[in-house]
Structure 1
Amino acid sequence: MESITSHDLLYVKLEDLIHLNDIPDWFDEKNDWDWVVVRRASLSDETIPVGVRGNERNKRHSCFVKESVINQVVRPTQLIKNEFLEGISMYRQQSFKIFQSFDLLKRLLKDYVWGIGGSLAYELVSKEPTVKK
């Protein structure tokens, strides 16, 4: 596996996460498997700092995961491929300016290496509606 870096999205079984803080109540609403994002913190050989998103902006939980339990890795640079738009409703793509800007950026920056982060990245990979107006 290539080295994991900040902003990569990891598909993991949530029971494999290592919690150093109290687990928030909303955490129980999550599925067994979910996408987590690699946080900007020191990486060790054994654990990777990640963040779990709840269904609201104020619902975030920091924890760690071992590389050996990661099922899939998606890098921000991979998210510019059209395949990640599959499963996002046309209504959302047309209603939220970020999707329109994303489409324009893909055309303008086609000769450059770049990627997507934040709520757009999470929605593209998870198909959960996280982008807000």
Structure 2
Amino acid sequence: MELNPHDLLRIKGAEELISHTPIPNWVEESLAISPYVVIRRSRAATGQVAVGVRGPERNKRFPAFLPIDSILSRISPERLAQEKGWHNHSKMIFQCLDRVSDLLNPASLTWGPTGSVGFELATGQEVVSKKSDIDILIRISEDFTIDFAQKIEKELKKNPYRIDVQLETKEGAFSLSEYTISEGREVLFRTMDGPFLKEVTLGLI
């Protein structure tokens, strides 16, 4: 089973989690309502994967580890984009995903919603609020030019909701908006070993 950061994993419950600190009561309550955890960008021991539990409030997130054998099913952001389940949601924020799809699909880009929008699409639990942004990941390669990145950023800004895009590579991820204005400067690169500043050379070919 291929596992990537931002994938949502269905599990039995909090008893499956491995943590070096006490597990808060709200973690068990949250997983009883919606038994899904999200893969974190962090290294884990052999046979485990780093995950996070989403709480009832924005400031409640709990990092833990999960035995890979405990995974019941996996939902990737890309799968959510392919299924277009947002057509079944009446909230305006979900309808914006049609615009994102119309922009990215013709370019044959692999993408998908993450964050609260992706979580609600995958689980059916209502976590999206009026203050929510739309989080998107796009998996890119060396032919993703700076000019194309700037075009995407410009079009996405026309949406009524703020759209935060992470560009995912095999080594890590970085912000689309930060990349488009980097002009050769370093950007914050998020990896399995933590974040660091790095000059991204995509688009120079």
Q: 2:109 aligns to what?
A: 112
Question: Once the 2 structures are TM-superposed, how far is the Cα of residue 119 of structure 1 from its aligned partner?
Answer: 0.9
> Structure 1 length as normaliser, TM-score?
0.83
Aligned-pair Cα RMSD in Å: 1.9
Is residue 17 of structure 1 aligned with residue 14 of structure 2? no
* Alignment correspondent of 1:7: 6
AA aligned opposite 1:71:
L
Residue 119 of structure 1 aligns with an amino acid whose one-letter code is S
Conserved in 2, the CA contact under 8 Å of 1:12 and 1:70?
yes
Structure 2 residue aligned with 1:77: 78
The structural deviation recorded for 1:49 is: 0.7
String of CA shifts for 1:12-68, please: whole Å, max 9, x gaps: 112211122121131232317611000011143221110001111111111110111
Greater relative contact order (Cα 8 A, min sep 6): structure 1 or 2?
A: 1
Partner of 1:127: 124
> Which protein is richer in strand relative to its size?
2
Alpha-carbon distance in 2 for matches of 1:60, 1:49: 13
Shift of 1:106: 1.1
Contact 2:9 2:73 in 1 (8 A): yes
Task: Map 1:47-126; keep pairs closer than 5 Å.
Answer: 47-82=48-83, 84-85=85-86, 89-90=89-90, 93-94=91-92, 97=93, 99-110=94-105, 111-126=108-123
Check conservation: 1:13, 1:33, Cα contact below 8 A: no
Q: 1:75 offset after TM fit, Å?
A: 1.1
- Give distance in 2, aligned partners of 1:43 and 1:64: 7
> In terms of Rg, which structure is larger?
2
1:82 is displaced (CA, Å) by 3.5
- How many residues align? The count is 126
- What secondary structure, in the 3-state scheme, does the structure 2 residue paired with 1:85 have? helix
Give me the whole-angstrom Cα distance separating, in 2, the residues matched to 1:40 and 1:5. Answer: 8
Unaligned runs of 5+ in 2: 131-205
What is the CA-CA distance between 1:105 and the residue it aligns to? 0.5
Inter-partner Cα distance in structure 2 for 1:123 and 1:59: 17
What is the CA–CA distance in structure 1 between the aligned matches of 2:126 and 2:33, rounded to whole Å?
18
Q: Which amino acid aligns with 1:50?
A: V
2:96, 2:33 → 1: CA distance?
33
Unaligned runs of 5+ in 1: none
CA displacement, residues 80-129 of structure 1 (integer Å, 9 cap, x when unaligned): 1345337x542xx23xx3x1321211122113211111111111111111
